[in-house]
Amino acid sequence: MIQLTIDGRPIQVEPGTTVLEAARRLGIRIPTLCYLKEINQIGACRMCVVEVKGYRTLQTACSLPCADGMEVRTNTPAVRAARRMVLELLLSDHQVDCPTCLRAGDCELMRLAQETGLRSVRFTGEKHPARVDTSSPALAVDSSKCILCQRCVAVCREVQGVAAISLAGRGFASRVVPFFDHELGEAACTYCGQCTLVCPTGALTEKDDTEAVWAALLDPEKHVIVQTAPAIRVSLGEAFGLPPGTVATGQMVAALRRLGFDRVFDTNLGADLTIVEEASELIQRLRSGGPLPLMTSCCPGWVKYAEHFWPEFLDNLSSCKSPHQMFGAMAKTYYAQKMGIDPAKIVVVSIMPCTAKKFEASRPELAGSGYPDVDYVLTTRELARMLRQAGIDLAALPEEEFDAPLGISTGAGALFGATGGVMEAALRTASTWLEGEPRRLVFTEVRGLEGVREASLTIAGQELKVAVAHGLRNAARLLERIRSGEATYHFVEVMACPGGCVGGGGQPLPADGPDSLPALRQARVQAIYRVDEAKAIRYSHENPAIKQLYAEFLGEPLGEVPHRLLHTHYHARQPVGIRVR
């Protein structure tokens, strides 16, 4: 163990521990802008500088290893002056439109300026030319707010293994751009939005669709319905001061009604519908011999990643649409007929934890009814902004129920919010159908936050090999093993975001900084399991609304009507960029 003192307080740490990590163990907060634990420790922003006895210059705490006998001071006049200088230099090249910025109130740069007591900027001069890129349907880029911290680059490369963006140029000409200086809409970006969760400013954000939804709500000719993903109910409360992992389903429903939506439905029903179709598809492929493994298709970030970099596996993807797209198709056909409403007047709004769902809703092949399945996708963050604009305090609302029948759902549908959840929900139904009766409810083998999980199950006397991956770089490692023949499976689940949908790129920004994201994801996953356990019905195929849908409208799973409305296809895309292995 290494012994040192920080601000006069002794501490022992393991070799290789940085000064920043040691200070955090003592409860000493050293400010950072570029640091991401184990992902981005490059000392680029210089905000974490400290004084070390015996060193002639200030040192970056995030990249300085602790040494025996080291004496560190984190709050001297020289340190404070250096940090203010860094902030002044950053702000001198920053588009300071704070009141109108999408990140207003959630900006790490603004927060540090306030904490350091910065009251003026002494420097003026040339600024980087602003480049606003709204070419993608999911993400927006404003280079005038970029501070070159490179967090986004590191997450895209190290966590997702996509490397859709990189640092180009040198010195003052440095900029973060897609490969070959393409716009984001042309790049091999999966639109997972993990970059927006770690960006400290408003340089990278979700593409804001709130004004379009407000316009729809105010249009008397439109019948506007809203559906909410499983992960929203366990994360929305964070934006209103509730503890991470709070299940706020009833308050969320009440808030959406107060916004003016004509009907408030549950995407969990769409998840149950997905399971009925996907479990049927799994059984069909097991009996017909392939193509195997069947791979889940409910994550649009994963689907786009496969289209760019793994086109050889596109036939393995389930043809099932994602739950919110299935729900949208039902809203504009079955629901429209039942209610006697012209589907052209129905507006479907999806509240999703995911930025990639915005891209998914724009895919032209997802319009089997003749109308787009989903008209607008709002992230959790966008919904929180709308509620604040309307003066609605989520935490103060009484609980209300979803509208019937499309608001009825099961515990299995709720599991879609966590990594391994689609697999577990499908196994519940598939095993019941294969064995003739419900024998098993919980499949702990596919639960957990390890990057890749593998299991071998016995169902109806047959061995079923399954695997679960979350985070695209983990998915790449799994796919390499499948392609090489090193591993064989019957069923594979992939989620683009760490933790699954609970860790989606559209979720609330972490109040304690991006290093708290793992703890947030863990709390949300546990909340998802509590939602499942609290449900009276926990098998998707036992949902009475699902039974009614098939009896009155869809017919048999995998039949002609489900094939037209609930299934889709995929196509290879040009991989503009590199795949990190």
Task: Look at residue 85 and tell me if it is in a domain.
Answer: no
Q: 18 has which bridge partners?
A: 65
pLDDT at 579: 54
**What DSSP character marks residue 53?**
T
Alpha-carbon distance of 249 to 507, in angstroms, equals 16
pLDDT at 181: 85
Is 413 found in the same domain as 268? Answer: yes
Instruction: Answer yes or no: is pLDDT of 576 > 90.
Output: no
In total, the chain counts a number of residues equal to: 581
Q: Is 40 helix (H, G, I), strand (E, B) or coil?
A: strand
Task: Look at residue 69 and tell me if it is in a domain.
Answer: yes
Q: What is the mean pLDDT of residues 107-129?
A: 90
Alpha-carbon distance of 72 to 403, in angstroms, equals 60
pLDDT in tens, 32-59: 999 999 999 999 999 999 999 999 999 9
Number of CB atoms found within 10 A of residue 393's CB: 12
Instruction: Answer yes or no: is pLDDT of 580 > 70.
Output: no
Q: What's the domain count of the chain?
A: 3
Task: Look at residue 340 and tell me if it is in a domain.
Answer: yes
- Boundary-marking domain end, from 75, 110, 132: 75
Alpha-carbon distance of 470 to 238, in angstroms, equals 23
Is 253 found in the same domain as 144? Answer: no
What range does the domain containing 357 cover?
Answer: 211-566
Instruction: Answer yes or no: is pLDDT of 575 > 90.
Output: no
Alpha-carbon distance of 540 to 531, in angstroms, equals 14
Q: Which residues are catalytic?
A: 278, 281, 298, 318, 357, 360, 365, 501
Backbone angles phi, psi at 4, to 5 degrees: -150, 175
Looking at the whole model, is its pTM more than 0.75? Answer: yes
Strand-strand pairing, 462-470 and 491-495: parallel
Degrees, nearest 5: CA angle 13-15-20? 60
Alpha-carbon distance of 74 to 54, in angstroms, equals 15
Instruction: Answer yes or no: is pLDDT of 105 > 90.
Output: no
- Boundary-marking domain end, from 32, 52, 75: 75
- Quote the distance between the C-alpha of residue 403 and its chain's center: 26
Is 112 found in the same domain as 259? Answer: no
- Quote the distance between the C-alpha of residue 360 and its chain's center: 14
Is 195 found in the same domain as 54? Answer: no
Is 447 found in the same domain as 396? Answer: yes
Smallest Cα–Cα separation from 350: which of 320, 376, 321? Answer: 376
8 A C-beta contact, residue 348 and residue 375 = yes
- Cα radius of gyration (the chain): 25
Q: 351 has which bridge partners?
A: 228, 378
- Boundary-marking domain end, from 206, 226, 242: 206
